[in-house]
Amino acid sequence: MRMAEVKQVSKNFGARQNLVRALNNISFKIERGEFVGVMGPSGAGKTTLLNVMSTIDQPTMGRVYLAGQEITTLPERDLAEFRRNNIGFIFQDFNLLPALSVRENLVMILSMLRLPADQVEQRLAYFSERLNLAELMSRYPNELSMGQKQRVAAARALMTRPQIVFADEPTGSLDSKSATELLQYLATINLEDETTIMMVTHDAFTASYCNRIIFIKDGALYSEVVRSGSRRQFFHQIIDMQAAIGGGNLSDFKNRL
């Protein structure tokens, strides 16, 4: 079943002499249950692609389908509802709400979905066990470590049981131990719950947890690498492709395994 489809999408910023083409007629598909990585050099348009696919930004041209729905024509109010029901976000800088405790950060969006209280408790118990959050529930974001914050952010993204999770450099602010833990959580959830994940990263080690990597350069699709063997082999494939585009080396993997 197809979860996402990007059809001939272009995105421009500025005008005339200052025109920057961030995405250039890009097209690809993501199937349900896939863990897709998006890689490319700085300025390739990775985050712009994620923003356009996740309804955060509008494309200049082209169409985007998510969960069978064309999102590029939806009005703002319907988009908000669509995001709430279908999309989960994990950001590099966590974006937890500082005024809310961990529990409230997790529960708040469920209150908007009017989920019954017993179901909320079930989900809280499930994700707090999965992401090891039970001890943190009454704490506030400023009392958490970076790794704990990102685990809470991941739990928040998954609490609504979204059709697809968009992660923008989720390990960018984490140390290697916390990053590895988070990636293992995401890989497990992807495998066991069949949650579709699309992750933007510039890091080959992080990308090696995906099933498929889409490489983009100058806003256009450059290549695609699909995992077939071990994670180490997949990592080498990614490094090779990064070398072909420019950037990335083998020591990344050796140092972090």
From the number of C-beta atoms within 10 Å of its C-beta (0-12, 13-18, 19+), residue 65 rates as middle
Question: Which of 72, 85, 132, 223 is in the footprint of another protein by CB under 8 A?
Answer: 85
225 vs 214: CA distance, rounded Å: 7
Which CB, 100 or 245, lies closer to another protein? 100
**Beta carbons within 8 Å of 183's beta carbon, 6+ residues apart:** 171, 206, 209
Residues touching another protein, count (CB under 8 A): 35
- Closest separation between CB of residue 92 and another protein, Å? 8
**DSSP-assigned states of every residue in 82-150:** HHHHHEEEE-TT----TTS-HHHHHHHHHHHTT--HHHHHHHHHHHHHHTT-GGGTT--GGGS-HHHHH
Question: Which of 70, 121, 135, 143 is in the footprint of another protein by CB under 8 A?
Answer: 143
CB 78 within 8 A of CB 86: no
Q: Is 61 in the site for another protein (CB under 8 A)?
A: no
Q: Is 63 in the site for another protein (CB under 8 A)?
A: no
What does the DSSP 8-state code read for residue 56? Answer: S
Question: Which of 1, 17, 42, 76 is in the footprint of another protein by CB under 8 A?
Answer: 76
Which CB, 98 or 229, lies closer to another protein? 98
- Closest separation between CB of residue 113 and another protein, Å? 9
From 80-88, 176-184, 211-219, 238-246, give the range in contact with another protein by CB under 8 A.
80-88
From 36-44, 83-91, 178-186, 248-256, give the range in contact with another protein by CB under 8 A.
83-91
Question: Which of 12, 25, 95, 132 is in the footprint of another protein by CB under 8 A?
Answer: 95
- Closest separation between CB of residue 140 and another protein, Å? 6
Q: Among candidates 161, 151, 149, which has minimal Cα distance to 110?
A: 161
- Which residue type is seen at 37? G
128 vs 185: CA distance, rounded Å: 12
From the number of C-beta atoms within 10 Å of its C-beta (0-12, 13-18, 19+), residue 106 rates as buried
Q: Is 227 in the site for another protein (CB under 8 A)?
A: no
Which CB, 24 or 105, lies closer to another protein? 105
Q: Is 125 in the site for another protein (CB under 8 A)?
A: no
**Residues lying near another protein in the complex (CB under 8 A):** 47, 51, 56-57, 76-77, 80-85, 87, 89, 91, 93, 95-100, 104, 107-109, 111-112, 114, 117, 120, 140, 142-143, 156
